[in-house]
Amino acid sequence: MKILALHSDFIEFEAKKKAIKEPEELKNKSEKIAESLVVFMSVEERDESNPESTAKQCVENIKDIASQVKEKNIVLYPYVHLTNNPSKPKTALDVLDIVEGELKKEEYKVHRSPFGWYKSFNIKVKGHPLSELSREFGPDDSKEDKKEEETDSLKKERKLTSYWHILTPDGNLHEVSKFNYKGHEKLKKFAFYEKEKSRAVKEEPAHVKIMKKLELVDYEPASDGGNLRYYPKGRLIKKLIEEYVSDRVIEYGGVEVETPIMYDMHHPTLLKYLQRFPARQYQIESDKRKFFLRFAACFGQFLMAHDATISYRALPLKLYELTRYSFRREQSGELTGLRRLRAFTMPDVHALVADIDQAMDEFKVRFDLSLSVLNNMGVENNDLEMALRTTKDFFEKNKEFILGLVKKLGKPILLEMWDERIFYFILKYEFNFVDTLDKASALSTDQIDIENGERYGIEFTDKDGKLKNPLILHCSPSGAIERVMYALLEKAAFDQKKGMAGTLPLWLAPTQVRVVPVSEDYMEYAAGITDELLKNKVRADLDDRSLHVGKKIREGEMEWCSTIVVIGEKEKASGKLPVRIRGKKDLVSMSLKELVDHIKKETNGMPFKPLPLPKELSKRPIFVG
């Protein structure tokens, strides 16, 4: 079932004509209700297996939303258009009846839009941060059905009471609802998004259209939801980001390893860890044993560390793996493009440290590493919102340490605190990107884990000759590689909204230079320019098609080519190239060497990969459209 809840000044509707053979009998053909929570409801085919459970879930979600917006006046509005898989009308009506009855028992004032009729309606939504909320659930989402599947952490996470604050670099704590967000509008969106914890999407994010249009990434209908196909250009971008992040981790001191993607569900140590990690697993059977697909690199790296002989001199020991892939059985309503997947690529570097002092020292080093990695890839500090999660006790004892992190970021952060620790970590931060739909997604993260060194039996020999369990830091300096691509494309979408050209960082652009001859007469010269660029490790291609030069330029712009060079008689005679740089109005005259130098300067320090497709456009397949 899907619902869309709108806190409204008013809604008015009028039944026009029958939408089904036997619609609900009209009590009021038209009605206007003021000051209400309007709940658009769509019962789905899957709900037919247990409509009572779905109705119960619906009631709980409506009550939850109504309590947040402090509204006792509810309008139930059947609206089949929220889903592509509607239930039978009888099931939908049964669910509607149950929901209405249960809400009335809870002393809500309930109004109903008539079922089975085409209706016109007007609505005025209030516009505050919680006035538009969507939820998705079904019979399999009821608490009773989850008992066998949920880990202890998932259960505790649902019941967890969080205290939310805005922490400013001057050390002051502010209530989320009372903080002055002027100049920090994205922080406001992020804060309310985190408090609501509604991850479902009701419209397609901007980056999905871009990733398809540019022939980067697409959905794979023959696979499980949240598994994507990467076309050559998309694979190039993903590969470059993977290489850059891995290079930075190894430069930091990461020791690269590789571990399996599946593990025994009944392994005693892993079973305990599963209960402490809030993630939903894929499970498979092999040789009459149950396995789960990893959702992080922790399992393999910790088991490897358990078997190793480690001295205090080796600490911090930084084990690194780029997991291609990690798997999480995310809910279907939350899956969307590159933002939230079920199979993803995660750079995961764990640091084994001797004690809390060494942990905090290393935490600061990795904080700097994460910011540097994101900034160099094109996601800057002003694109990020930071969340930090800890207990009240840890915050009070380590406030100066935490403030040091906030000052490095240079702007207020969202602080979530708990009365007691229920997770295996005592401190965790995330850098989040807020997209064009006001949804937030975590990129870089690190956490101080105080349990798993002992749980996995990992030991090191300390200075006094005694065996001790290390603390463990869990860091992804970029977050999932797919999320980085998502953030860069969403950032480009923000630019497009401002009337600017959407661009990719030059080091990631599939075509760094598009060479366009004005006619067949200059094809050989243009091909020579292209070859020279390729020899100098510039991703250049040649538009050798029999098209008008204006169309070639337009298509190059539609493909987000970083630079376009048109070759004619003047260019051949002078050796000067009119360089059209994406996002700039005026052409820049450059020699071939100057163009190469420009590309090298702009991409300095970043990895390079050759063209992912034939250099001649006439020889390329069309993957989309």
DSSP 131-171: SEEEEE--GGGSHHHHTTT--HHHHHHHH---EEEEE-TTS
pLDDT at 84 over 90: no
The pLDDT of 613-622, averaged and rounded, is 97
What tokens does 91 get?
A: 């099931």
pLDDT at 380 over 50: yes
Asked if 492 and 501 count as a contact pair (C-beta separation under 8 A), the reply is no
pLDDT at 160 over 90: no
Residue pLDDT, tens place only, 201-260: 678 899 999 999 999 999 998 998 889 999 999 999 999 999 999 999 999 999 999 999
pLDDT at 149 over 50: no
Task: Give the pLDDT confidence score for residue 588 in this predicted structure.
Answer: 95
The DSSP element (H or E) to which 2 belongs, if any, is strand 2-18
Dihedral (CA of 478, 513, 597, 584) sign: negative
Residue pLDDT, tens place only, 33-75: 999 999 999 999 888 888 898 999 999 999 989 988 899 999 9
Q: Does CATH number 3.40.50.1970 belong to domain 2-148?
A: no
Q: For residues 67 and 133, what is the distance between their CA atoms, to the nearest angstrom?
A: 13
What tokens does 600 get?
A: 């090298």
CATH topology of domain 163-261+294-490: BirA Bifunctional Protein; domain 2 (3.30.930)
Residues of the chain with CATH 3.50.80.10: 2-148
What tokens does 214 get?
A: 């540019």
Closest CA to 431 of 480, 469, 398: 480
CATH superfamily of 506-619: Anticodon-binding domain (3.40.50.800)
Strands (E) in 395-466, as ranges, are 413-418, 425-434, 440-449, 460-461
Q: For residues 483 and 439, what is the distance between their CA atoms, to the nearest angstrom?
A: 13
Asked if 264 and 289 count as a contact pair (C-beta separation under 8 A), the reply is yes
Q: For residues 450 and 209, what is the distance between their CA atoms, to the nearest angstrom?
A: 43
Asked if 565 and 575 count as a contact pair (C-beta separation under 8 A), the reply is no
CB atoms within 10 A of CB 131: 15
The pLDDT of 493-497, averaged and rounded, is 96
End-to-end Cα separation, the chain, in angstroms: 33
Closest CA to 41 of 135, 106, 182, 173: 135
Q: What angle do CA 616, 618, 624 make, to 5 degrees?
A: 110
pLDDT at 178 over 80: yes
Residue pLDDT, tens place only, 110-125: 998 999 999 999 999 9
